[in-house]
Amino acid sequence: MPTPPYVPQIRRYTDWLAQHHGLRFDGYHDLWQWSVTDLSGFWKSVEEYFGLHFESKNENVLLHNTMPGTQWFVGGHANYVSQVFRHVAPAHAAGMPALIARNEKGRHTELSWPELRSRVAALALHLKAQGVRPGDRVAAYLPNIPETAIAFLAVVSIGGVWSVCAPDMGTNAVLDRFRQIEPVALIACDGVTYGRRDIDRLGVVAELRAALPTVRHVVMHTNLAETADAKAGVLSRAAPCVHFEAVAARDDAETAAFEPVELPFDHPLWIVYSSGTTGLPKPIVHGHGGTVLVGLALKSLHNDIGCSYEPNSWGERYHWYSSTGWVMWNAQISGLLNGTTCVIYDGNPGGSKDAPDWTTLWRFAAETGVTFFGAGAAFFANCLKAGVNLSQCGDLSRVRALGTTGSPLSEDAQRWGTAQFAAIAASEAQQDIWWCNISGGTDFAGAFIGGNRELPQAPGRMQCRLLGCAVESWNERGEPVIDEVGELVCTQPIPSMPLHFVGDKDNQRLIGSYFDAYPPGHGRRPGGGDLGPEAGAVWRHGDWLRVLPDGSCIIYGRSDATINRHGLRMGTSEIYSAVEALPEVLDSMVVDLEYLGRESWMPLFVVLREGHTLDEALSERLRGAIRQTLSPRFVPDTIYQVSEIPRTLSGKKQELPIKKLLLGQPIEKVINREAMANPGCLDWYVKLARERAGA
């Protein structure tokens, strides 16, 4: 098979714009400027370029531009799965698989496009027969395996609304999410393998069923059980339920004739969760049409991932390591929208605690012929620290791009990867490997900043603001700035921005999450300037951003107190719920120091009841509470016993000021003592900050 690089996808798009619309641009900045000022023209071009056929009138592409509440492609129709199914025949005729998967035990699966279609149809018909109707919510408790992709496509093909949690999450964390959405069905597994340990999850599944009274049907996948007797035992313990394997095996005239239902453009597709500093995780609803549009624009134009059966990108194989608890799982599966073979891995990318091995994913990529290799920034940092030598990881000659996200990628980690590929270079592309560093969010299932195959790259930077994303860095006065660190805002809507939050009366929580930082109308005119308050507010994302004069960008971490740990976001409130459930704990506070590209360091501060001291036994109980209730990913690096947690006069924990203090900012600039209920407690935190600065 020929190996990319090839004609970059973004160049193919700009050539198409010139040929079909007479649009020509002097450079990327001019193209980007057009895309964020002529919003209707740009997003209509994306629809046409990818042949989506939403069948909405041109004048309805952007009928109502206000944030929130933008109306896109009014009267149009879409179904995510229709876009996937269009690739079945040509991809199969070319001999391209749809999914290639492996787990820690070495279980290897290749799923052809017709097999994918058949199993999706079979499960969809089964769910429909059980009464799942358009708009009904279906919850999943599954890892990153082919069955999860099948289940997702089956649910949304009939208009159901998908929502998944990873099996490394404990009962309370899952229920905090699923209770809000009231699912009618649950698709779950018996357990997972992680770090070379089998982790039984049937007990959690039983607790979920007991606590979710709206669930009237359960589909069980036997992920750990391998023999017929073991599978029968699992199904007996989980009864009443049906076996995923048996349901998906149906192959008859009805499955062959199955077609996804036609849905309104903004019909709910999935519910994802983004946690803040207070309250339950936010259940964010995205729509079919907007997600497909943004997914294709990101994956093809910016990530430069092509269709596997097109001559220009023949044999493309796309891998981005993720768990189902991260929106990058959604991004990985969206490769199917473009007819791309998706290569997925389930398990610990670093081996086990007793036998760490950061070559695991590289060897997997070598054996499966991956062309685009993506992972969280922390993965590459760990490879650097572990001294991974890619020349000992097999044949990586087909890799032509590296992708990162989740947290800022350090310059050292990027230089390490570049040098490693230069040393094994089997192609011109590998002599200076292209890094597609992106930054976006679960909140809109997309990216604001990312890559462009044809722009210069520099370690520690992202190459550009993405097409259609009117991203700016704003100072404290709400003014756009260049070459200064400011708040990341998006001044114009994007089709995949949330439709709403589940149970959010009058959009109050949605507005409070993204749209209440600046006055309505401020900065809302396409191309710059203000509009009236009826235009709504700009989107404040919660990241520190610096836009450099050449258009490249640097993300410096969260500008709020949300935890961004190993690429996964978690609200501090969820950590407090787990920690403060222990009777010894009166109060707690956690911060994550990953600003300015520094390695994440997450301390936990606890106030204990009288008579208790933070010894090793209690420390381990605290870690265990977080590990079991939430996820091992959010176990703190250090735990401190303190006398008080700093609070405002209204009682709010002052996480962000303490985070800034520990990052080295002077106390007088980060906190107003007069606005505090207990300013005397600050001396201890100031002392800690000085000790860390000295270290």
Per-residue pLDDT reduced to its tens digit, 562-592 = 676 665 666 676 788 789 889 899 889 998 8
End-to-end CA distance of the chain: 53
Neighbours of 588 (CB within 10 A): 23
Q: Read off the CATH number of the domain in which 651 is found.
A: 3.30.300.30
In terms of pLDDT, which residue wins out, 660 or 450?
450
Residue 155 lies in a domain: yes
164 contacts 141 by C-beta, under 8 angstroms = yes
Point out the domain boundary residue: 243, 270, 297.
Answer: 270
pLDDT tier at 594, thresholds 50, 70, 90: low
Q: What percent of the chain has pLDDT over 70?
A: 94
* Average of per-residue pLDDT across 415-430: 94
Name the more confident of 268 and 277.
268
Residue, of 101 and 555, whose pLDDT is higher = 101
Asked if the structure places residue 606 within a domain, the reply is yes
Q: Is the pLDDT of residue 407 over 70?
A: no
| Least confident among 53-57, 147-151, 548-552 | 53-57
- Pairing type for strands 446-450 and 464-465 reads antiparallel
User: With pLDDT > 90 as the criterion, what percentage of the chain qualifies?
Assistant: 71
What pLDDT is attached to residue 485? 83
Give domain status of residue 54, yes or no: no
pLDDT bracket for residue 596 (50, 70, 90)? very low
Q: Is residue 161 pLDDT above 60, yes or no?
A: yes
**Partners of 435 in beta bridges:** 402
- The DSSP symbol for 505 reads G
Q: Which amino acid is at 104?
A: E
- Please tell me the distance from the alpha carbon of residue 447 to that of residue 301, in angstroms, as a whole number: 12
Among 230-239, 292-301, 463-472, 622-631, whose mean pLDDT is lowest? 622-631
Q: What's the total number of domains in the chain?
A: 2
Q: Any residues with CB less than 8 A from the CB of 537 and at least 6 apart, and which?
A: 67, 511, 515, 516, 517, 518, 519, 520, 521, 522, 524
Locus of tokens 């599978």: 231
Give the mean pLDDT of 177-186: 96
User: Domain boundary at 270, 303, 333, which?
Assistant: 270
Q: Which domain holds residue 639?
A: 561-694
How confident is the prediction for the chain on average, in pLDDT?
A: 91
In angstroms, what is the C-alpha Rg of the chain? 25
Cα–Cα distance list, 536 to 62, 458, 498 (Å): 15, 36, 15
Mean pLDDT on 147-152: 98
- Asked whether the predicted pLDDT for residue 561 surpasses 70, the reply is no
163 vs 174: CA distance, rounded Å: 11
Task: Tell me the three state secondary structure of residue 377.
Answer: helix
- Is residue 285 within 8 A of residue 499, CB to CB? The reply is yes
- What local confidence, expressed as pLDDT, does residue 63 receive? 87
Is the pLDDT confidence value at 406 over 90?
Answer: no
Residue 427 forms part of a structural domain: no
Q: How far apart are CA 233 and CA 239, in angstroms?
A: 10
Crossing angle of helices 377-386 and 411-424, in 10° steps, is 70
Q: How sure is the predictor about 189, in pLDDT bands with cuts at 50, 70 and 90?
A: very high
Cα separation, 152 vs 147, in Å, equals 9
Q: Which residue has the higher pLDDT, 253 or 596?
A: 253
Average pLDDT over residues 188-202: 92
Given 270, 291, 313, the domain boundary residue is 270
Query: Would you state the pLDDT for residue 567?
Result: 59
Instruction: Judge whether 433 lies within some domain.
Output: no
**pLDDT for the residue 675:** 66
Asked whether the predicted pLDDT for residue 278 surpasses 70, the reply is: no
Q: In CATH, what number is assigned to the domain containing residue 95?
A: 3.40.50.12780
**Averaged pLDDT, 68-85:** 95
Per residue in 342-390, pLDDT (tens digit) is 999 999 998 887 888 999 999 999 999 999 999 988 789 889 888 999 9
Q: What is the mean pLDDT of residues 530-559?
A: 89
Within 10 angstroms of residue 586's Cβ, the number of other Cβ atoms is 15
- Residue 367 in any domain: the answer is no
Residue 492, C-beta contacts closer than 8 angstroms, at least 6 positions apart: 36, 39, 65, 67, 470, 524, 526
Residue with more model confidence, 5 or 296? 296
Query: Does residue 284 fall inside a structural domain?
Result: no
Residue 599: the pLDDT is 64
Q: Can you give the pLDDT at residue 533?
A: 93
Q: What is the pLDDT of residue 539?
A: 95
Tell me if 411 sits within 8 A of 377, measured CB to CB. no
Establish if 296 belongs to a structural domain.
no
Alpha helices in 278-323 (DSSP H): 288-296
Q: What is the pLDDT of residue 133?
A: 97
SS3 450: strand
pLDDT over threshold 60, residue 276: no
